[in-house]
Each structure stands twice: as C-alpha cells, then as structure tokens.
Amino acid sequence: MKPQLREFIFEELIFVAEADSFSDDDNLLEAGLDSMGIMRLIMFIEEEFKVSLPDDEIDPDNVESFNALEKWITQHKS
C-alpha cells in the first residue's frame, strides 16, 4: 500500500528532492501537500484500494504521513 501511495504523492502531488529519505512518519503537509492535493489523493486511494473514505474524516491527522494514511485506509477496508 505504501509504495503505491509514495509513488502517487511524489510523482503527482509534491516534490521532495530526496524522496527515498522521506520517512513514513514525515509530515506530508509540511512537505507541501495542500487541500487540492488531498482531494486528488483521496480520489486515488478510493480507486486504487477500492475503499470509501468518509468526508467527515478528512482531517490533518489522517493525511499527515504515510503511516497515518495507511491506518485510515485500513480502518475502512472491508
């Protein structure tokens, strides 16, 4: 799951000079993930992982890192 997320985020949403050194706990919001990027990311996640993420859970805590994203996605996978 994280490899697909990393590829999409670093190719489509934010530029990080050293993507390989960006840890799973590093803050994506501080790295440049903005509200439009979050919406694109959610659409990608829902299509890629066949999961529905509730709008009322779109919150910085759920999208701030790869670990947070993985936890949020896993909670909604059936």
Model confidence at 77, in pLDDT bands (50, 70, 90)?
confident
Note the CATH number of domain 2-15+25-76: 1.10.1200.10
Confidence label for 50 from pLDDT (cuts 50, 70 and 90): very high
Cβ–Cβ under 8 Å, residues 77 and 51: yes
Percent over 90 (pLDDT), the chain: 90
Average pLDDT over residues 44-50: 97
Q: Determine contact, residues 28/66, Cβ cutoff 8 Å.
A: yes
pTM of the model: 0.92
Residue 78 clears pLDDT 80, i.e. is over it: no
